[in-house]
């Protein structure tokens, strides 16, 4: 058996003993759908911009049209992407455990498209909009180069969580309730650098959960993982679900 196959088998054995599972995903989950991760070199158009500067209230205040166009470009790329076999595997996994929740840092809607329903989109969704000053939900505007204006007069922005913004209380409560009661957490495709998501594995571990990490590269989490699967989301997750079906 190859190293990856042996790791998948070990992960499956561990998960078969679990009835309460959390999965958390990052940008690596969408790489095989053609969406570059934050660590990948940005496409030429945005190579001179730092996402951590653009994805902030200050960045939007400074240049609303620039930030609006950055999201419009990403939305156009994401609109052309489809969930891959790894997304489909996680949607199937939902019915394999008594309790299952998928918490994603991704804003690309691909888990929803794949059919995942017990889902927390921790950092929001690029296809949803709200106003900058009052968080009024706003219908998706026609393609425009500049941010439109809400009925209240405030500029419209993407309904995503920017750096320095607090996360939705109910999303956090749902996430930590699951983390503090789960038997296992599967961490897929994240470098584990952005909080509070970066603290999820530790929260699960402190509640006694086992940690499975799926990533083609080692991360800061790898040393604490009970099983590290050195593979991609699109390859490892379907293999894991196949073992769990058996
Ligand atoms: C908060 C939405 C309370 C927007 C995102 C100092 C000052 C201010 C704040 C902070 C601070 N110190 C810490 C903080 C908190 C801050 C933070 O964590 N900063 C970091 C940079 C230190 N967090 C926040 O601000 C959060 N709010 O904490 O509020 C607060 C407020 C103020 C002050 C203190 C506390 C809000 C964070 C949310 C930001 N919004 N996204 C948008 O997308 O435009 S974050 C965004 O970047 C993503 O959502 C994701 O979270 C992150 C990118 O990380 P990853 O997903 O892990 O992706 P990455 O590219 O890094 O890694 C990809 C991985 O995939 C790699 O490991 C790679 O090996 C792997 N991979 C590659 N290919 C594959 C693969 N894996 C599997 N298969 C493959 N094929």
Question: Are the C-beta atoms of residues 187 and 28 closer than 8 Å to each other?
Answer: no
**Distant-in-sequence, close-in-space partners of 9: CB < 8 Å, separation ≥ 6:** 1, 243
Protein residue whose Cα sits closest to atom 34 of ligand 1: 164
Angle formed at CA 223 by CA 107 and CA 50, multiple of 5 degrees: 35
- Is the Cβ atom of 105 under 6 angstroms away from ligand 1? yes
- Is the Cβ atom of 169 under 6 angstroms away from ligand 1? no
Looking at residue 1, its pLDDT comes to 55
**Residue 123 annotated as catalytic:** yes
Residue numbers in the chain where pLDDT is lower than 70: 1-2, 44-45
- Is the Cβ atom of 109 under 6 angstroms away from ligand 1? no
- HSE-CB at 230 with a 13 A cutoff on CA atoms is 7
- Is the Cβ atom of 149 under 6 angstroms away from ligand 1? no
Q: Is CATH 3.30.1600.10 the right assignment for the domain spanning 36-80+126-160?
A: yes
Looking at residue 38, its pLDDT comes to 87
We find that the CATH architecture of domain 1-35+83-123+167-246 is 3-Layer(aba) Sandwich (3.40)
Say how many Å lie between the CA of residue 194 and the centre of ligand 1: 3
Looking at residue 2, its pLDDT comes to 60
- For the chain, the domains span 1-35+83-123+167-246, 36-80+126-160
Length reported for the chain: 246
pTM of the entire predicted model:
0.96
């Amino acid at each position: 058996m190859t190293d990856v196959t042996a790791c998948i088998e070990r992960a499956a054995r561990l998960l078969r003993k679990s009835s309460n599972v959390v999965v958390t995903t990052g940008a690596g989950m969408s790489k095989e759908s053609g969406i570059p991760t934050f660590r990948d070199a940005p496409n030429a158009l945005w190579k001179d911009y730092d996402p951590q500067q653009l994805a902030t209230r200050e960045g939007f205040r400074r240049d609303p049209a620039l930030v609006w166009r950055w999201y419009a470009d990403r939305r156009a790329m994401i609109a052309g992407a489809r969930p891959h076999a790894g997304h489909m595997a996680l949607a199937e996994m939902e019915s394999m455990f008594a309790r299952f929740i998928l918490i994603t840092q991704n804003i690309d809607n691909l888990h929803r498209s794949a059919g995942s329903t017990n889902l927390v989109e921790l950092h929001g969704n690029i296809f949803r909009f709200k106003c900058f000053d009052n968080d009024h939900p706003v219908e998706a505007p026609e393609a425009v180069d500049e941010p439109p204006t809400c009925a209240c007069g405030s500029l419209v922005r993407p309904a995503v969580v920017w750096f320095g913004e607090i996360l939705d209380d109910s999303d956090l409560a749902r996430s930590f309730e699951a983390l503090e009661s789960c038997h296992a957490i599967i961490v897929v495709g994240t470098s584990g650098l952005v909080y509070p998501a970066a603290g999820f594995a530790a929260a699960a571990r402190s509640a006694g959960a086992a940690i499975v990490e799926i990533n083609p590269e080692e991360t800061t989490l790898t040393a604490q993982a009970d099983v590290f699967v050195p593979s991609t989301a699109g390859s490892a997750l379907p293999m894991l679900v196949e073992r769990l079906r058996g």
